Structure 1
Amino acid sequence: MSKTMNAVMMREFGGPEVLELVNVPRPVPGPDEVLIRVHAVTVNRTLDLAVRAGRYGRPVKLPHVLGADPVGVIEDIGRDVTDRQAGDRVATMPVLRPATATTPPTLLGVSVWGGYAEFVVVPASATQRVPEALDFASAAVIGRHAPMALHLLETKAKVRPGETVLVMGASGGLGMAGVQIAKSLGATVIAGAGSIERVQRAMAAGADYGVDYRAHDLVAEIKAITEGRGVDVVFENIADPELFPKAFASLARGGRLVTAGSHGGGTVPLNVTELYQKQLTIHGSTGLTAGDLVKSLELGATGKIRAEFARSMPLADAALAHRGLEDGDIEGKIVLSPAQ
């Protein structure tokens, strides 16, 4: 095996043009680590575009290699690894090592070099096997958002069969996962999105109803769909100061709102009177467990959820992928493949 590899590196913060394909030393796994030959890695607005631009909320050491969710095949293992072997098809967890009393968690593609490369090294404990029925690109997309959606809806909101769930930003990566996970839990799903085209994409992914919240009154539409009751759960990942109060007002008495996202601004009005009078609950979480990843991959392998992505591109086109996503020329998730 060659001692070098191709990787997309950034030596400074800035626009997509700071990403360059370079040849660098191939990493060597430590005692508890595995070396993965990367077959697919997704492009993300926060963990890639914001990090590249220098807008992420944690320090990033340069030079840096992005890529939070590589999927591929184990090529080599460290001497202490006993539960993984060469040839295993694996996906990676975003948190490589948990936080301690004095240090933050180690995030792949943020704290350490990530998967925009032919190879990546991660702790064996941060990997989970990918079912044979699932291709690498689909596994990368499902592994990126479905585990968090599952954690929010199943663990935090405790969605039950027969309940109604409003998914905001339903055509985005996390929103699409939310639509499908909610359906897999037996819920009736209302997709909220900012255009009729985006609503239609979410409906095609399995939503039962759709609302264009830029063209129509969200609260009135939700009341009409639910015969005045409101929804049991709101899956919110926008945090837009105009939309958040409307989504919150769409909750039925005893309803729950779960959220993990703030690209709409992050600071929103909150009707505290409504919060306590209707006995509502708000859960904010970025957490997920290894079990969430395993279950999500299994749901993908059995066809109960499917990967929604716009395009697969060669690793060498990472800058073009960033530009297309940033400028809005590419709608949906992009997958980079070092093998192309």
Structure 2
Amino acid sequence: MKAIVMRRFGGPETLELAEVPRPVPQADEVLIRVHAVTVNRTLDLAVRAGRYGRPVTLPHVLGADPVGEIVEIGDDVVDRKIGDRVATLPFVKAATGSAPPVLLGVSAWGGYAEFVAVPARITHLVPAKLDFADAAVVARHAPLALHLLETKARVCPGETVLVMGASGGLGSVGVQVAKSLGATVIAGAGAPERVARAVAAGADYGIDYRRSDLVQEVMVLTGGRGVDVVFENIGDPDLFPQAVSSLARGGRLVTAGSHGGGKVTLNVTELYQKQLTLYGSTGQTSGDLDRALALAADGLLQAEIADTFPLSSAARAHEDLEEGRITGKIVLLPQHIEVPLSS
């Protein structure tokens, strides 16, 4: 089969289209013909550059969230059949003791390939109403957004949620999930067009935090009270303290990202005087994924796809995302191999 293989860490040029052996599923595994897989800043770009926080063995195939159809099943698999349309969770093996979890596309070969073998237990049926590209985008971010906002922050109807980075992949889903939970949503983003995109995705209000005082604008919108929940997944040293200061007394902040740097200051006096709670989590459950796919099939979550690329153009997809030429989610289509000829 063809796959995008990285044999060293570095820039997009390290990604090469290569012939590799087609995997054979083990007894508890299924073989998926991959139809879509997303491109991610952390789980793809950072891993490729050698900046990810966990060891990666080379040669390696990226791709944390392959979606496709099952073409072969292992001898012990009883709850999946050939032809099933499935999405995947990335957790191939759970963390044990001091050992980190085994993640698809990080510590196990992932979905930048025509086929991938995964444990049957991490696969979830994709509703017939969803196409593969939409399912891949929903499966990548919506389960985590549900876990953070519903399970960790316990957002209730009538509360106000500030979503930071609201036009990004996780942020735009966070806007939609918060709305589905009955919240009033304030979208924070770093440019007017990004604010507009987040409002179009369902946010009630928008703030350009690069041009305006975030805390002041939040207080105006909330009558001086602040927000109940902040969905913060940037980790920017300037923005994070402002996000915390935007919280009302008893407020909660949830986060699962740090692409803005990750080293931030925290006003501990504010933390205890306002009785704030901060949650960091990358957790998501099988139920979160099933619910996310069902919400998308019912039209309550929309997949925001900026562009699609054939498998052979993975390096160009990485370059476009890294250089900021594309804002939003990029999807690779592994069954589309060849680069289209230019006219």
TM-score by length of 1: 0.98
Matched, 1:10 2:6: yes
Q: How far 1:203 moved relative to its partner? A: 0.5
Match of 1:118 in 2: 114
1:25 paired residue among 17, 21, 26: 21
1:225 aligns with 2:214: no
Which aligned runs of 4 or more in structure 1 are off by greater than 3 angstroms?
Answer: none
Note if 1:335 corresponds to 2:325: no
Q: 1:36-55 to 2 correspondence within 5 Å?
A: 36-55=32-51
1:235 aligns with 231
Give how far 1:101 is off: 2.2
Letter in 1 for 2:59: P
Percent identical: 73
How far the C-alpha of 1:102 sits from its partner, in A, is 5.1
SS of the residue 2:62 aligns to: coil
Q: Deviations over 1:103-145 (max 9, x none)?
A: 3211000111100000000000011110000110000001001
What's the CA shift string for 1:6-56, capped at 9, x where partnerless? 101011111111111111110000010000000000000111011111111
| 1:173 aligned onto 2:173 | no
Quote the residue 2:340 is aligned against.
none
Which of 288, 307, 315 does residue 311 from structure 2 map onto? 315
**1:272 pairs with 2:272:** no
Q: Which residue of 1 aligns with 2:182?
A: 186
Partner Cα distance (1:102, 1:197) in 2: 44
Q: Match of 1:161?
A: 157
Q: Which runs of 5+ in 2 are unaligned?
A: 337-343
Structure 1 Cα separation of the partners of residues 63 and 271 of structure 2: 39
Shift in Å, 1:309: 1.3
Secondary structure of 1:181's aligned partner: helix
Partner residue in 2 for 1:244: 240
Aligned counterparts of 1:42 and 1:108: Cα–Cα separation in 2: 13
In structure 1, the gaps of 5 or more residues are none
Query: What's the RMSD between the two structures over aligned residues?
Result: 0.7
DSSP-derived class of the 1:283 partner: strand
TM-score of the two chains, using structure 2 as the length reference: 0.97
- Secondary structure of residue in 1 paired with 2:335: coil
Q: 2:54 aligns with which of 55, 58, 67?
A: 58
Q: Deviations over 1:258-304 (max 9, x none)?
A: 01111111111111111111111111101000000000011110000
Distance 1:336 1:182 in 2: 28
Q: Paired residue for 2:64, among 64, 68, 75? A: 68
2:79 corresponds in structure 1 to 83
State the distance in 2 between where 1:46 and 1:167 align. Answer: 19
Select 2:282's aligned residue among 280, 286, 290. 286
Measure how far apart 1:206 and its partner are.
Answer: 0.4
Q: 1:101 aligns with which of 93, 97, 100?
A: 97
Give the letter for the 1:262 counterpart.
S
Distance in 2 between residues matched to 1:13 and 1:241, nearest whole Å: 27
Letter in 1 for 2:184: T
Which residue of 2 is the match for residue 195 of structure 1? Answer: 191
